[in-house]
Amino acid sequence: MNWEALVFTLFSPVIGGFIYGLERVVRARMQGRVGPPVLQPFYDFLKLMDKRSIVIHSFHAFMGIMYLVGTWFSLYVLLSGGDLLIAIFFHVLSLAFLVVGGFSVRSPYSILGAMRELLHMVAYEPLYVLTAAGLYLVTGTFQISEILNSNEVPLFVLPLVFVSILLSLPTLLKKSPFDIAEAHQEIIGGPEIEYSGKFYEAVYTAKWIEYVYVFFLIFLFGGGNHLLGAFLVLFAFFFFNLLDNVTARVNFRQMVAFHWYVLIPLVVINLMLLALWRG
Amino acid sequence: MELKKFRKKSPWILHYNTGSCNGCDIEILACLAPKYDLERFGILNRGNPKQSDILLVTGPVTKRAKERLLRLYFEMPEPKVVVAVGACACTGGVFRHMYNVENGVDSIIPVDVYVPGCAARPESIIDGVVKALEILEKKKKEIELPPYCKVPEGEKLNRRKLLERCLEVINAGRRS
């Protein structure tokens, strides 16, 4: 049992909430607005606790909570230095809970959002598995604790993989230009539309945890050089906020095509060159 | 910890147009844009009744819109407040007593704050919303019913039954 990791995982919603609050401020400043206070996500959290919750049916509410639990567990696997592939697959599983919950209600927006969520998974999951393979090629292990203590710096060997992960960040976090699953103007949040009160709170918190999860994946590209990793995280944060502000939503064909015809070939080229060079 | 005081720190808005001329709607959107920036109070335009606290209604409530308005009102979880924005939403405005309108929002759902003006200025909308936040803090969590919809004493009805009861009344015809 890794107690340090457990404590970190338990406090990860707080860290994720701060990241989200900071993101809202940064986004507002980029648009020339003042923006909400940094603690705003926590105010939202406490307000949602006070609201009455309308439950559609118990299975739907349960799936919302399982989304939170699944994401939280995948983050624990990451933070405790476990297997990278297991963390990625648990994250897929948690999204599957959200999708099943989205399909289980009769709201057309919810069903449409769940379908689009599946398209998101089709788009970015191969990329993340290939990234794990790339990290394995560089450091010789899938164990995160060993990746973080290795002498290699994956960023210098896998620059194209890092670029593709950076460009697919909006897909995982559902930000513009790839926010088709929770397009707030057309399908009003997608699979999360029917959650209210405490159950929406679970979905909301799961999204904060996803921030920590994603930025930890970025952090891995620093390898043994933790300062470089921290810098990469900071860079990725500002980069995807900028991308979120300056781009409009693309349609799902363009999103999947961009991932399968541009990003995945980039990663494969990088891995093949690496294998040739090493061999 | 008292959770009530966080209600006014993160109110989420649902905006519904019941047949307005879009004048007031443009002004509401102007409130959320950089110049007035309502997000600095934590206000977000969610567009989702299940996660909203404030219902901003514009327009004189046409016959077609009244059922949707009532449904949206019942889909919002308590505590919630209703703000009627613009002259039409308050009284029916220039459309009052016409054959196709219901003379204002308060003939369908209970209204907490009236914001006058044709169109209501962004400053007065912000003023109305801030006033609504004070009311929101004092609200109870029971389901609030429109005045024309009476439920006999001792009868326990859920949200869907209450909505059906109210829809029966507004679809029955002329109300006093």
Rounded distance, CA B46 to CA A23, Å?
18
Length of chain A, in residues: 279
Q: Which residues of A touch B75 (CB under 8 A)?
A: 54
Quote the pLDDT of residue B175: 59
Give chain A's mean pLDDT: 88
* Whether B10 contacts B102, CB under 8 Å: no
> In the 8-state DSSP scheme, what is residue A261?
I
> Hey, what are A123's tokens?
């788009």
Residue A196's nearest CA partner among B129, B79, B71, B29 is: B79
- Helix residue spans in chain A (DSSP H): 3-10, 12-30, 40-50, 58-79, 84-103, 108-139, 144-149, 154-157, 159-173, 197-219, 226-246, 252-257, 264-278
Residue that wins the pLDDT comparison between B150 and A211? A211
In this predicted structure, the answer to whether residue B34 has a pLDDT above a threshold of 90 is no
Question: Which CATH code, of 3.40.50.620, 3.40.50.12280, 1.10.10.10, 1.20.1250.20, is assigned to B7-140?
Answer: 3.40.50.12280
B82 falls in which pLDDT band (50, 70, 90)?
very high
* Whether A210 contacts A71, CB under 8 Å: yes
Closest-CA residue of chain B to A199: B51
In this predicted structure, the answer to whether residue A99 has a pLDDT above a threshold of 90 is yes
Quote the pLDDT of residue B44: 86
Quote the pLDDT of residue B85: 92
A1 falls in which pLDDT band (50, 70, 90)?
low
Give chain B's mean pLDDT: 86
In this predicted structure, the answer to whether residue B173 has a pLDDT above a threshold of 70 is no
In this predicted structure, the answer to whether residue B40 has a pLDDT above a threshold of 70 is yes
> What are the pLDDT digits (tens) for A33-52?
888 999 999 998 988 888 88
Quote the pLDDT of residue B174: 60
> Hey, what are A62's tokens?
């349960």
| CA terminus-to-terminus distance, chain A | 38
How far is CA A99 from its chain centroid? Answer: 15
The number of C-beta contacts closer than 8 angstroms across A and B is 77
Helix (H, G, I), strand (E, B) or coil at A210: helix
Query: What is the average per-residue pLDDT within B22-42?
Result: 88
Quote the pLDDT of residue A55: 87
| pTM of the model as a whole | 0.88
A22 falls in which pLDDT band (50, 70, 90)?
very high
Q: Hey, where are the domains in chain B?
A: 7-140
ipTM of the complex: 0.85
Rounded distance, CA A261 to CA B30, Å?
40
In this predicted structure, the answer to whether residue B142 has a pLDDT above a threshold of 60 is yes
> What are the pLDDT digits (tens) for B96-128?
888 888 888 888 889 999 999 888 899 999 999
Query: What is the average per-residue pLDDT within A10-24?
Result: 90
Quote the pLDDT of residue A143: 85
Torsion of CA A246, A249, A253, A258, to 10 degrees: 20
Closest CB to A36 among B6, B42, B159:
B42
In this predicted structure, the answer to whether residue B176 has a pLDDT above a threshold of 60 is no
* Whether B115 contacts B124, CB under 8 Å: yes
Q: Where do we find the tokens 């993160």?
A: B10
Q: Hey, where are the domains in chain A?
A: 3-278
Q: Do B40 and A53 touch (CB under 8 A)?
A: no
Closest-CA residue of chain A to B41: A36
Q: Do A196 and B51 touch (CB under 8 A)?
A: yes
A262 falls in which pLDDT band (50, 70, 90)?
very high
* Whether A64 contacts A200, CB under 8 Å: yes
CA atoms within 13 A on the CB side of A18: 5
Rounded distance, CA A50 to CA A48, Å?
5
Quote the pLDDT of residue A111: 92
In this predicted structure, the answer to whether residue A246 has a pLDDT above a threshold of 60 is yes
Length of chain B, in residues: 176
In this predicted structure, the answer to whether residue A210 has a pLDDT above a threshold of 70 is yes
Q: Do A195 and B50 touch (CB under 8 A)?
A: yes
**Greatest extent of chain B over all pairs of C-alpha atoms, in Å:** 51
Q: Give exposure, A10-46, as e/b (b: 16+ Cβ within 10 Å).
A: eebbeebbbbbbbbbbbbbeeeebebbbeebbbbbbb
Residue B108's nearest CA partner among B79, B144, B67 is: B67
Quote the pLDDT of residue A144: 84
> Hey, what are A198's tokens?
């405490």
> What are the pLDDT digits (tens) for A129-170?
999 988 888 888 888 888 888 887 888 888 899 999 999 989
Q: Do A50 and B10 touch (CB under 8 A)?
A: no
> Hey, what are B149's tokens?
């919809």
